[in-house]
Amino acid sequence: MFDAVDTNASFAKMEEVVLAYWEHEQIFAQSLEQRRGGQPYVFYDGPPFATGLPHYGHLLAGTIKDVFPRYQTMRGRYVERTFGWDCHGLPIEALAQDKLGLAGAPAIRDCGVDVFNEQCRSMVLRYVKEWQQTVNRMGRWVDFEHGYKTMDSTFMESIWWVFKQLWEQGRIYRAHRIMPYSWKLNTPLSNFEANSNYQDVQDPAVTVRMKILDRDFPGCAGLTTYVLIWTTTPWTLPANLAACVGPDIRYCVVRDGDSNDAYIVAKERLSAYYKHESEYTVLHECAGAELVGCHYEPIFPYFAGHANAFCILSDGYVTTTDGTGIVHQAPAYGEDDYRVCRAANIELVDPLDDDANFLPVVADFAGVNCKEADKAIIRMLKQHGKLVQQSTIVHSYPFCERTDTPLIYRAIDAWYVKVEDLHERLIKNNAQTRWMPDFVGEKRFANWLAEAKDWNISRNRFWGSCIPVWINVEDPADTICVGSIAELEALSGQKVSDLHKHFIDCIEIRRDGKLYRRTPEVLDCWFESGSMPYAQHHYPFANREKVEGAFPADFIAEGLDQTRGWFYTLMLISTMLFDKPAFKNVVVNGLVLAEDGRKMSKRLKNYPDPRTVIDSYGADALRLCLLASPAVRAEDLRFSEVAVREVMRTVLIPLWNAHCFFVTYARVDGWVPPAGQAAPPAAPENVLDSWVLSRLSATVQDVRSALDNYDLQRGATRFTSFLDDLTNWYIRRSRRRFWKSDNDTDKGDAYATLHYTLVTLCQLAAPFTPFITETIYRNLRTDAMPASVHLCDYPEVQTAYLDTALNERMARTMSAVSLGRFLRTQASQKIRQPLASAVLVSAKAAVRADLEQMASVVAEELNVKAVLVQADEESLVSLSAKPNLKRLGPKLGPKMKLAMPAIAALSSADIASLRQGESLALTLADGTALTLSEDDVLIQRTEKEGMCVANEGDITVALDTRLTAELIQEGNAREVVSKLQNLRKELHFEVTDRIHICYSAPVALSRAIEAESAYICAETLALSLTAGDCADMHAVDINEVPARFHLRKA
């Protein structure tokens, strides 16, 4: 016997019960154990930082990461799922710095790298418990216990192995690069990090003049000539080493009316400096190329005499969109500057310390922070007559994400991985990966791979995997790369237990009388996450076979923002190590935005707490809401609590109530499924049973194909649309079959069909909504079936049940019913009022045959005494023809425009002959002869005026709305039954309770009730129906006639 169920169950509470059951019975472990030996389905989990709580983006990705492993497990695959944690990097360092009150790298060194790193270690896992709770509450099955951490020694040793592989391939090199630099954190940042916090700021914009030393331009005799440069970073002027012009840009030498000096400015920029042409005189005009080689007097004296410096260079990057068209070059502080100066053999100078304060060499501003020095520098320029113009500019400028201080660009010593020779291999390997949606892989990612730049992998930080390179203190070119702990122990003669910086930096290597110390940088943590396929299993030091057998992964899933993150580093490292892609299938999810379309923000509080949402609607509702959204196709999703509620109302509640309905009547009748697997009747006689089984099979086919193609949205919507057909057609149409008190075959078939359908639907939906399906399945299962729905095999497509003709027949029936309902509304005849007849008309024999078979369904649904099916539609509708554009368009081309009116003008006789298969000759306005056949036109029907007729496509329905006294009496009886049923419900009677009814009504109505008393009693399970007065009578309206009823249990 099934357990009684509560229609008003709280899904959130139900889910808690399921979680306890899974935990207690170790269902996840069982689901794995059961598939041990099955073909593995390999899933890699991207490691999150545990420095914050999980948000909707994590819940979305986490749900996607749960559906496919569950699905594949049910398909028989062995799917291990281990969680991972990203432990290193700036997020955690920033937290530790706050905690210890340390401002930057020097402060960290002062307090001790060991203290700092141990602080990091102690904080890394601070939110692990919360993560675990949330992930678990969402119903995601993943192994936390054996999860990997990027700070584990085993993980870090594998990182060294990976590094050494690249080293031996000659891919690791050291270079200068211009990078965004945070002086607060004393570290260069990746461009990725630098781009995440642009702010609009006001900066000075100064135009400075530099005296030309060794060139006389025509017409400048007796004048001092200056080249004008423009910059928004005055602090870079002390490090100025050159000026750059565009080779093809036109420049003018003008006599400045104010100063009577000669200035060199781009011709196009003159108007920016002079309001009127009268303010200057053009002395000479030339191309930028002619200016190259001029020397000028350094603005500041600090680097006077620097080799090859203080001359005019040229390069194509110079534009005339702002400034003077001449760009000042400080090679330490700009990528283009660096490149241009390097080509001119000018060594950079970088007079800033780690905090970006000026070094003593810049005597006037020594110790001053560069940005703060701007004002003093401008003042000094003014004093020395070098400032031509001063203004401010508001522009978007990158700021440090962690500290909100401005970033500067400066030259940094860095370690690089050579990538630029790998483009073809990367693209080839990416072509072996299936992306969902495809454009992310085929366009976005492929384009990125095609232009991938060498990868800066070093970070001048503390808490991370160390770059395992030891450098000869005497000769920086002499290096040793260490690839394992054993290697380091052998080289150093010391025992090594931990690979973090504070354990490793003190280890020195002596070889052949030379001393080697480690390079101080740590690795970019993307290097670690990209190495996770190997490092999570301590490859190749352990688990060689396991890793090699489980590579590449069958499936990964992350957000669109990982295109250049994890997706890239995985693909890059696997290509470099094994020349293979790291994953075969990847689902990319979009961003989850707040309801207002903006990013979710804790400060703005523009989104509901996930826990509140789960507690109100349940994790299933949240999961399905996310899974059925465009967010699973890499599109943005505006998340709204209302949408979650909607999913609960329209999917979970109907599913739950279908279950309640079934269980309620099965308990009344004591129906139990036969032992063994759930099974439908062998040969269902009722067309509803065959139909719902056919629909179910089609749905199984659809959902399987959707999931096999990683299309979650399609999968989710297919099973929900089936649910709609199940509840609002199959169950509604079948209700009476369950109420009937005699246990005949039809009733048994109904129970067996619905039981099988619900069980199968639960199995089908289990990967999407694991809780409610588990609850329902557990109540419906037989002893022979697995204890949990998640231990079941995924439903197979039952081709024997598939009947497309039947599906079409039922679709036609629904269409006829829908038309009939419309007519009732038009005629203001509610469904409870029986009518004499409905006429279903179609000229197509196949349609008529279908409708005839289903006539009883239509009659019942429309509450008519008789349903007639006939062929003659012309008494009800008038026919007209339209061209079938799909057929005629390609045939006629431009003549289509002439054919349209000719076809519209066809008479009903013409149409009739076409429909009898005859062809029809037309002459178009331009004399073209055209022969039409039936397929060339579409026949349209218009309801004739004044009749109760409705048409849709091939089907026309007419309703006889005339009422007889008999029909009215029946209508009243049905109204009475309806009111009585409502009263039963209000009085909380059980569906099986027998009752006695006492009523009082006006004479006419009383007579009707008396006449229909047998029917009324049968419907309401009444043992008696007597007229008279008694206490506690309920007043009701029966078609606007007042009446009173009293009900009591028998």
Partner RNA sequence: GGGCGCGUAGCUCAGUUGGUUAGAGCGCGUCUCUGAUAAGGACGAAGUCCCUGGUUCGAGUCCAGGCGCGCCCA
Give binding residues for ATP as ranges: 602
Catalytic residue among 45, 69, 85, 86: 86
Question: Is 614 among the residues that bind RNA (CB under 7 A)?
Answer: no
Q: How far is the CB of 7 from RNA (least distance, A)?
A: 5
Task: Report which DSSP code applies to 454.
Answer: P
Catalytic residue among 455, 526, 671, 691: 526
Active site residue 375: no
In this complex, which beta carbon is closest to RNA, that of residue 9 or of residue 797? 9
Question: Is 654 among the residues that bind RNA (CB under 7 A)?
Answer: yes
Separation between Cα atoms, residue 338 and residue 352, nearest integer Å? 16
Structure token pair of residue 487: 């290697």
Question: Is 320 among the residues that bind RNA (CB under 7 A)?
Answer: no
Interacting residues with RNA between 779 and 808 (CB under 7 A): none
Q: How far is the CB of 649 from RNA (least distance, A)?
A: 4
C-beta of residue 754 within 8 angstroms of C-beta of residue 679: no
Interacting residues with RNA between 421 and 450 (CB under 7 A): 439-440, 443-444, 447-448
Active site residue 86: yes
Q: Which of 530, 554, 542, 467 is nearest to 150 (CA)?
A: 530
Which of 39, 122, 195, 875 touches RNA (CB under 7 A)? 195
Helix axes 770-780, 619-627, angle to 10 degrees: 120
3-state SS, one letter per residue, for 86-122:
ECCCHHHHHHHHHHHCCCCHHHHHHHCHHHHHHHHHH
In this complex, which beta carbon is closest to RNA, that of residue 308 or of residue 601? 601
Which of 885, 905, 925, 1030 touches RNA (CB under 7 A)? 885
Interacting residues with RNA between 660 and 699 (CB under 7 A): 660-661, 664
C-beta of residue 572 within 8 angstroms of C-beta of residue 422: yes
Q: How far is the CB of 908 from RNA (least distance, A)?
A: 17
Separation between Cα atoms, residue 231 and residue 234, nearest integer Å? 6
Catalytic residue among 546, 599, 605, 897: 599
In this complex, which beta carbon is closest to RNA, that of residue 918 or of residue 952? 952
Separation between Cα atoms, residue 350 and residue 241, nearest integer Å? 11
Active site residue 602: yes
In this complex, which beta carbon is closest to RNA, that of residue 326 or of residue 591? 591
Q: Which of 12, 114, 30, 135 is nearest to 73 (CA)?
A: 30
Question: Is 197 among the residues that bind RNA (CB under 7 A)?
Answer: no
Question: Is 10 among the residues that bind RNA (CB under 7 A)?
Answer: yes
The amino acid occupying position 892 is L
Question: Is 812 among the residues that bind RNA (CB under 7 A)?
Answer: no
Question: Is 615 among the residues that bind RNA (CB under 7 A)?
Answer: no
Q: Which of 803, 887, 873 is nearest to 845 (CA)?
A: 873
Measured in Å, how far apart are the chain's first and last C-alpha atoms? 26
In this complex, which beta carbon is closest to RNA, that of residue 365 or of residue 409? 409
Question: Is 818 among the residues that bind RNA (CB under 7 A)?
Answer: yes
C-beta of residue 801 within 8 angstroms of C-beta of residue 683: no
Q: Count of residues binding RNA (CB under 7 A)?
A: 87
Catalytic residue among 13, 129, 382, 602: 602
Alpha-carbon Rg for the chain, nearest whole angstrom, is: 40
From residue 345, alpha-carbon distances to 227, 332, 712 in Å are 22, 14, 58
Active site residue 803: no
Interacting residues with RNA between 447 and 506 (CB under 7 A): 447-448, 453
Question: Is 169 among the residues that bind RNA (CB under 7 A)?
Answer: no
Question: Is 8 among the residues that bind RNA (CB under 7 A)?
Answer: yes
Stretch that binds RNA, among 245-253, 459-467, 495-503, 886-894 (CB under 7 A): 886-894
Q: How far is the CB of 246 from RNA (least distance, A)?
A: 16
Element of type H or E holding 135: helix 128-137
| 312 phi, psi to nearest 5 deg | -90, 130
Q: How far is the CB of 103 from RNA (least distance, A)?
A: 27
Interacting residues with RNA between 974 and 1013 (CB under 7 A): 974, 977-978, 980-982, 984-985, 989-993, 995
In this complex, which beta carbon is closest to RNA, that of residue 428 or of residue 564? 564
In this complex, which beta carbon is closest to RNA, that of residue 336 or of residue 354? 336
Which residues, including other chains, have CB under 8 Å from residue 1001's CB and lie 6 or more apart? 1009, 1027, 1038, 1041, 1042, 1043, 1044
Question: Is 308 among the residues that bind RNA (CB under 7 A)?
Answer: no
The amino acid occupying position 538 is H
Angle at 347 between CA 345 and CA 349, to 5 degrees: 155
Interacting residues with RNA between 243 and 282 (CB under 7 A): none
In this complex, which beta carbon is closest to RNA, that of residue 119 or of residue 769? 769
Question: Is 318 among the residues that bind RNA (CB under 7 A)?
Answer: no
Active site residue 940: no
Element of type H or E holding 397: strand 387-398
Stretch that binds RNA, among 380-388, 600-608, 779-787, 878-886 (CB under 7 A): 878-886
Q: How far is the CB of 275 from RNA (least distance, A)?
A: 27
Instruction: Provide the b/e sequence for 767-776 (b: ≥16 CB within 10 Å).
Output: bbbbbbbbbb
Instruction: Answer positive or negative: Cα dihedral of 18, 23, 27, 28.
Output: positive
C-beta of residue 581 within 8 angstroms of C-beta of residue 432: yes
Structure token pair of residue 293: 């080689």
Which of 67, 614, 634, 906 touches RNA (CB under 7 A)? 634
Interacting residues with RNA between 711 and 750 (CB under 7 A): 727-728, 731-732, 735, 739
C-beta of residue 864 within 8 angstroms of C-beta of residue 836: yes
How many Cα neighbours within 13 Å face the side chain of 311? 21
Catalytic residue among 97, 562, 763, 829: 562
The amino acid occupying position 332 is A
Separation between Cα atoms, residue 1024 and residue 628, nearest integer Å? 52
Which of 630, 779, 802, 827 touches RNA (CB under 7 A)? 630
Count of other CB atoms within 10 angstroms of residue 563: 18
Q: How far is the CB of 182 from RNA (least distance, A)?
A: 15
Query: What percent of the residues of the chain are helix, what percent strand, and what percent coil, each to the nearest 5?
Result: 45, 20, 35
Which of 638, 844, 865, 915 touches RNA (CB under 7 A)? 638
Which of 100, 679, 896, 963 touches RNA (CB under 7 A)? 896
Binding residues: 602
Interacting residues with RNA between 928 and 967 (CB under 7 A): 938, 940
In this complex, which beta carbon is closest to RNA, that of residue 158 or of residue 563? 563
Interacting residues with RNA between 553 and 582 (CB under 7 A): 560-561, 563-565
Q: DSSP assignment of 391-426, as one string?
A: EEEEEEEEB-TTT-PBPEEEEEEEEEE--TT-HHHH
Q: How far is the CB of 1024 from RNA (least distance, A)?
A: 14
Q: How far is the CB of 153 from RNA (least distance, A)?
A: 30
Q: How far is the CB of 456 from RNA (least distance, A)?
A: 9
Stretch that binds RNA, among 154-162, 538-546, 758-766, 884-892 (CB under 7 A): 884-892
In this complex, which beta carbon is closest to RNA, that of residue 85 or of residue 617? 617
Question: Is 1048 among the residues that bind RNA (CB under 7 A)?
Answer: no
Separation between Cα atoms, residue 896 and residue 892, nearest integer Å? 5
Separation between Cα atoms, residue 464 and residue 297, nearest integer Å? 46
Helix axes 619-627, 712-725, angle to 10 degrees: 120
In this complex, which beta carbon is closest to RNA, that of residue 6 or of residue 548? 6
C-beta of residue 997 within 8 angstroms of C-beta of residue 1020: yes
Interacting residues with RNA between 593 and 612 (CB under 7 A): 597, 599
Sheet of strand 172-182, all strands in order from the earlier edge strand to the far edge:
187-188, 172-182, 408-417, 455-456
Question: Is 778 among the residues that bind RNA (CB under 7 A)?
Answer: no
Interacting residues with RNA between 819 and 858 (CB under 7 A): 821-822, 825, 830-832
Helix axes 128-137, 610-617, angle to 10 degrees: 30
In this complex, which beta carbon is closest to RNA, that of residue 8 or of residue 391? 8
Residues annotated as catalytic (active site), given as ranges: 47, 86, 526, 562, 566, 599, 602
